Amino acid sequence: MKPFSDKLLSWYAQHGRRGLPWQNERDPYKVWLSEIMLQQTQVSTVKERYLQFVNTFPHLEDLAKAQIDEVMSLWAGLGYYTRARNLHACAKVIQQEYQGKFPQDIISLSQLPGIGRSTAAAIAAFCFQQKNSILDANVKRLIGRIYAVEEDFKKAATNEYLWQIAHDLLPKDARNMPAYTQALMDYGATVCTPRNPKCSGCVFKKECLAFQQDKVEKIPNKVKKVSSKEVRSVMLCVLSGDQVLLNLRPPSGIWGGLWSFPESSWSDHLEIQDLQVQTLEEFQDLPLTILRNALPKGTLLASRKHVFTHRILYFQIVILRVKHIFEIDSTRYKWVNLSGMLELGLPTPVKQFMQDYVAANSSLLQSDVTHDVVSVR
Ligand code: SF4
């Protein structure tokens, strides 16, 4: 029987995906960029953003020299923002410690910020034709099904077993590593898909134990989904004329490192009617007397919902119009022009809110400071 790699390569030559902007790329910088972007993000979403990134930062040096705000802004909407911070940190390390050139050995690669074992293997395979297997979710599923691995893929021992199989399946000739690695990704994404895999036309159906034993749907073994927890918060959109107050979120956690509205802590029970003076007590960094005076009497709330992987956040944005800009810790807060705000890296729902607000209130933004209540629903 033909080895696994030969079958996969023949399939790839005929049916592999075409036209992805990072395909056939051998520049480690661009391969790395695409690999990081593709983690947990759809190809269709990444395509456009990848090109924007490469246009803005054509070389690793450009990314290393960029301000983190610029990077976060370009990343906004892709989610999993730690990736953007690591991208920037990694570019700096390579620039400073490796004279701007990616190391070629997989150990050094996997020690760089944000580069795990599978990404390191992809860079080494695509750019340096090294025989190291990738093991992303697509490859785990494909191998797991062919070998009928029914154990939880998240368990360390199962994972190690899958790595071992992936290594054993590598092609003999290292020159095939770029095509083989791309073929693995393509096969998992287009044939051995999570739902409704195309088993009838699959080149591995004879050796696929899951198919032979009618277990395809059971692999990967789905760990019971924990239902999403609902949480609530209040955000303050503090405006003075056309200036808005933004808060830099801590580097770790939800929307880490992005600029956003000051936000209360998340609560299980905060309701819309709770929006009283005491809610403002949460914002101890801000001048509470000024905010209390600006607290509206009428409706001034925009309710929003944002769904994260394990949580659903319901938040209300309260507009507080203050007479004068006040001074505040400039390491964590800044006043920005409303139109300039839209250029920053903002959480998607905050950006959407501001776009709606600016569109609905463009005349107000030009006027003098006012205490008028403006509904932005
Ligand atoms: S037969 Fe089906 S489950 Fe098995 S490798 Fe092919 S597509 Fe995947």
Average pLDDT estimate for 309-313: 83
CA of 18 to the centre of ligand 1 (A): 22
Q: How far apart are CA 67 and CA 16, in angstroms?
A: 38
pLDDT in tens, 242-282: 899 999 998 888 888 889 999 988 887 665 555 555 567 78
Concatenating the DSSP letter of every residue in 100-136 gives: T----SHHHHHTSTT--HHHHHHHHHHHH--------
Q: How far apart, in whole angstroms, are the C-alpha atoms of residue 339 and residue 243?
A: 9
Summarised one tens digit per residue, pLDDT across range 119-170 is 999 999 999 999 999 999 999 999 999 999 999 998 889 999 999 999 999 9
Atom of ligand 1 nearest to the CA of 198: 7
Residue carrying the six token digits 């395979």 = 125
Residue whose entry in the numeric block shows the structure tokens 């008028």: 372
Q: What is the pLDDT of residues 173-183, one digit of tens each?
A: 999 999 999 99
Residue with tokens 């989610």: 79
Beta-bridge partners for 320: 238
* Residue 340: partners with Cβ closer than 8 Å, 6 or more residues away: none
Q: With CA atoms as reference, report the closest residue to 236 among 319, 295, 171, 175.
A: 319
Q: What b-and-e string marks burial along 326-364, b requiring 16 or more CB atoms within 10 Å of the CB?
A: eebeeeebbbbebeebeebbbbebbbebbeebbeebeeb
Identity of the amino acid at 72: M
Bridge partners of 316?
Answer: 234, 303
State the distance from the centre of ligand 1 to the C-alpha of 12, rounded, in angstroms. Answer: 15
What domains does the chain contain, in order, with CATH numbers? 4-133+169-190 (1.10.340.30), 229-366 (3.90.79.10)
Out of 11, 139, 142, 215, give the residue to mutate to test ligand 1, the one with the largest number of ligand atoms within 8 Å of its CB.
142
- Tell how far CA 314 is from the center of its chain: 21
Distance of CA 191 to the CA centre of its chain: 25
The set of catalytic residues is 35
Do the beta carbons of residue 5 and residue 173 sit within 8 Å? Answer: no
CA–centroid distance, 104 to ligand 1, in Å, is 34
Measured from the Cα of 197, ligand 1's closest atom is: 7
The torsion angles phi and psi of 209, rounded to 5 degrees, stand at -65, -35
Nearest to 31 by CA among 160, 131, 134: 134
What is the value of pTM for the model shown? Answer: 0.70
Say if strands 229-240 and 311-321 run parallel, antiparallel, or are unpaired.
parallel
Provide CB contacts within 8 A for 293, sequence distance 6+: 322
Q: With 50 as the cut, is the pLDDT of residue 368 above it?
A: no
Q: Is the CB of 146 under 6 A from ligand 1?
A: yes
Q: What is the 3-state secondary structure (H, E, C) of 310-377?
A: CEEEEEEEEEEECCCCCCCCCCCEEEEEHHHHCCCCCCHHHHHHHHHHHHHCHHHHHCCCCCCCCCCC
Q: Which of 141, 192, 212 to mutate to test the pocket of ligand 1 (most atoms within 8 A of CB)?
A: 192
Digit-coded pLDDT (tens) for 31-86 = 999 999 998 888 988 999 999 999 999 999 999 999 998 998 898 888 888 899 99
Question: Alpha-carbon torsion 49, 52, 54, 56, what sign?
Answer: negative
Q: Are 84 and 71 in contact (CB under 8 A)?
A: yes
Q: Is 210 in the pocket of ligand 1 (CB under 6 A)?
A: yes
pLDDT class of 234 with cuts at 50, 70, 90:
confident
Peptide linkage before 296 cis (omega within 30 of 0): no
